[in-house]
């Protein structure tokens, strides 16, 4: 099966990225960790996005609409690379073929940090993307993994990210840590509103989508909640499965009292 890639066309696009966000749908990253990608870009890291689906099954808009909107949002988020795979929208499954497709992208992009959706949620695509993403990270590091020729990774060395994080904003769980996105909150909103087919005022799907006039209030209120947990104004939440090692107690960042 042909891999459908709509990577950003740019003469200065790096061959690899430092931080890679993987999500089921075009606009999931903007909702869950767009501010974090902006914060990482500010620190000089190359960031990227892999969307697993193209949006053909959405209530609003078309795959072509979503592609154009995703490209516009990527520029706002200052990501170095964005592409979409061709997994069925609304039917993301953790199959060997899908693991290899995503593992091929991971081998090409070689991120040190991967951000995945949290492993529980209302939408089946989200929690399946979480498991699929983790297992694809594992497969990408297998020396003897066999990839279909059309994925064109046979000449690439195996690669696994050092750290896998889970963007937990969609789920009501206590985060392991939060990222301060205070200076990026307006740009984060701008990236989400680039999806006019999804968030522009319209009657189609009005019972499923947040009204455009409420999006700002909801986004800011949620980010404010997570910011208060860590003593900043606005933040995005993350979970990691590992217990973190601390070598110097004097470097711990959040006050206890």
Confidence at 198, pLDDT banded by 50, 70, 90: confident
Question: Is 80 exceeded by the pLDDT of residue 83?
Answer: yes
Residue 255 covered by a domain = no
Distance in angstroms (rounded) separating the CA atoms of residues 138 and 49: 18
**Gap between the Cα atoms of 226 and 167, Å rounded:** 12
- pLDDT exceeds 50 at position 207: yes
Query: What residue numbers bound the domain in which 131 lies?
Result: 19-240
pLDDT of 5: 39
Average pLDDT over residues 202-230: 81
Q: At residue 204, does pLDDT exceed 60? A: no
Quote the CA–CA distance of 54 and 231 in Å, as a whole number: 37
- The predicted pLDDT at position 106 comes to 97
* Mean pLDDT lowest among 79-88, 109-118, 153-162, 200-209: 200-209
CA–CA dist 239, 242 (Å, integer): 9
Handedness of CA 149, 153, 158, 162 (dihedral sign): negative
The answer to the question of residue 42 being in a domain is yes
Q: Is residue 48 part of a domain?
A: yes
Interval 90-96 mean pLDDT: 95
Q: Using an 8 Å Cβ cutoff, are 221 and 52 in contact?
A: no
Q: What is the pTM of this model?
A: 0.90
In a domain, 257, yes or no: no
Residue 54 lies in a domain: yes
Let me know if residue 226 belongs to a domain: yes
> Residue 165's beta-bridge partner residues?
115
pLDDT the model gives residue 7: 44
Q: How many CA atoms lie within 13 A of 229 on its CB side?
A: 17
On average, the pLDDT of the chain sits at: 89
Q: Does the pLDDT of residue 85 top 70, yes or no?
A: yes
- Taking residues 174-201, what's their average pLDDT? 91
Query: pLDDT for 113-136, tens place per residue?
Result: 999 999 998 899 999 999 999 999
| 176: CATH | 3.40.50.10320
The band of 12, judged by pLDDT with boundaries at 50, 70 and 90, is very low
pLDDT at 197 exceeding the cut of 90: no
> Average pLDDT for residues 213-234, to the nearest whole number?
94
Say if residue 9's pLDDT is above 50.
no
How many domains are there within the chain? 1
Q: What is the pLDDT of residue 211?
A: 73
Q: What is the mean pLDDT of residues 179-200?
A: 92
Rounded to the nearest 10 degrees, how much is the dihedral formed by the CA atoms of 141, 41, 68, 49?
20
C-beta of residue 167 within 8 angstroms of C-beta of residue 127: no
Host H or E run for residue 53: strand 47-53
């Amino acid at each position: 099966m042909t891999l459908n890639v709509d990577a950003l066309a740019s003469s200065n696009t790096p061959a690899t990225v430092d931080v890679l966000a993987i999500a089921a749908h075009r606009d999931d990253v903007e909702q869950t960790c767009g501010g974090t990608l902006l914060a990482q870009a500010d620190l000089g890291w190359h960031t990227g996005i892999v969307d697993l689906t193209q949006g053909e099954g959405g209530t609003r808009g078309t795959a072509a609409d979503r592609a154009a909107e995703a490209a516009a949002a990527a520029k706002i988020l200052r990501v170095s690379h964005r592409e979409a795979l061709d997994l069925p929208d609304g039917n993301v499954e953790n199959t060997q073929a899908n693991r290899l497709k995503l593992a091929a992208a991971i081998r090409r992009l070689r991120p040190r940090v991967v951000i995945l959706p949290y492993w529980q949620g209302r939408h089946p695509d989200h929690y399946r993307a979480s498991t699929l993403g983790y297992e694809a990270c594992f497969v990408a590091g297998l020396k003897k993994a066999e990839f279909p020729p059309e994925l064109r990774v046979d000449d690439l060395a195996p690669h696994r990210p050092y750290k896998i994080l889970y963007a937990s904003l969609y789920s009501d769980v206590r985060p392991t840590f939060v990222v301060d996105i205070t200076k990026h909150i307006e740009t984060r909103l701008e990236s989400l509103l680039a999806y006019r087919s999804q968030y522009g005022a319209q009657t189609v799907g009005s019972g499923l989508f947040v009204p455009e006039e409420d999006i700002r209030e909801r986004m800011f209120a949620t980010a404010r909640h997570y910011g208060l947990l860590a003593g900043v104004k606005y933040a995005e939440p993350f979970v990691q499965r590992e217990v973190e090692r601390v070598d110097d107690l004097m470097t711990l960042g959040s006050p206890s009292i």
